[in-house]
Chain A
Amino acid sequence: DTAVSQTPKYLVTQMGNDKSIKCEQNLGHDTMYWYKQDSKKFLKIMFSYNNKELIINETVPNRFSPKSPDKAHLNLHINSLELGDSAVYFCASSQEGGRSPLHFGNGTRLTVT
């Protein structure tokens, strides 16, 4: 069974559209994250949720809105997509924050044309 699964794996869309990426973890973890990995492979934290509550919101445009319906799910909705949003988005989870190991999904490659 996949521990952290995110869908879709690939997403190609045009500028100005709104899209969502879904993430689910079956590890029973309390904390979930969204990371963005750019073309240079730099992995940067976007959001962190602990038990459905937002803990971290890095400097991310407010076009990005995470939603956590329960602690096993953390979805990412993006409004008015821009070319610069093209990247690979990774969902991750951990037992708790801090030094707990991160378990990553396999990423969603978003291409905005």
Chain B
Amino acid sequence: TQLLEQSPQFLSIQEGENLTVYCNSSSVFSSLQWYRQEPGEGPVLLVTVVTGGEVKKLKRLTFQFGDARKDSSLHITAAQPGDTGLYLCAPSKTGANNLFFGTGTRLTVIP
């Protein structure tokens, strides 16, 4: 079983604040995906990063893949209540047939 730690486990912030959540492992991955899960629904893909050091932006969300492809971060600027949810990272290895998930960060943005 892969060890995929996400931090913080819980995060509660005020609307308009910035935040960063992390996904860390000791293993090297070929790619990594970030998902957001809202209550009562399944996770939805936000982004896939593939290259070490890669940065991708999705509106107010900025995703970075570590240079060594062992970790990733998600930064949200000016958080909105609609950003509330469970953020999951899901790395994959070359040749692997499944995606496994990190422990998740539960984000609550208070209006």
Which residues of A are at the interface with B, using a C-beta cutoff of 8 A?
4, 31, 33, 41-45, 48, 50, 55-56, 90, 92, 97-99, 101-107
Q: Is the interface of A mostly helix, strand, loop or mixed?
A: strand
B99 touches A102 (CB 8 A): yes
For the A-B complex, the count of residue pairs with Cβ-Cβ distances under 8 Å equals 66
A41 touches B104 (CB 8 A): yes
Name the contact of B41 in the complex, choosing from A42, A102, A106 (C-beta under 8 A): A106
Interface residue count for B (Cβ, 8 Å)?
28
Q: How far is the CA of A31 from the CA of B88 in the complex (A)?
A: 21
Nearest CB in chain A: distance from B89 CB, A: 11
B42 within 8 A of A: yes
Residues in chain A near residue B42, CB distance under 8 A: 4, 90, 92, 104-107
Residues in chain A near residue B40, CB distance under 8 A: 106-107
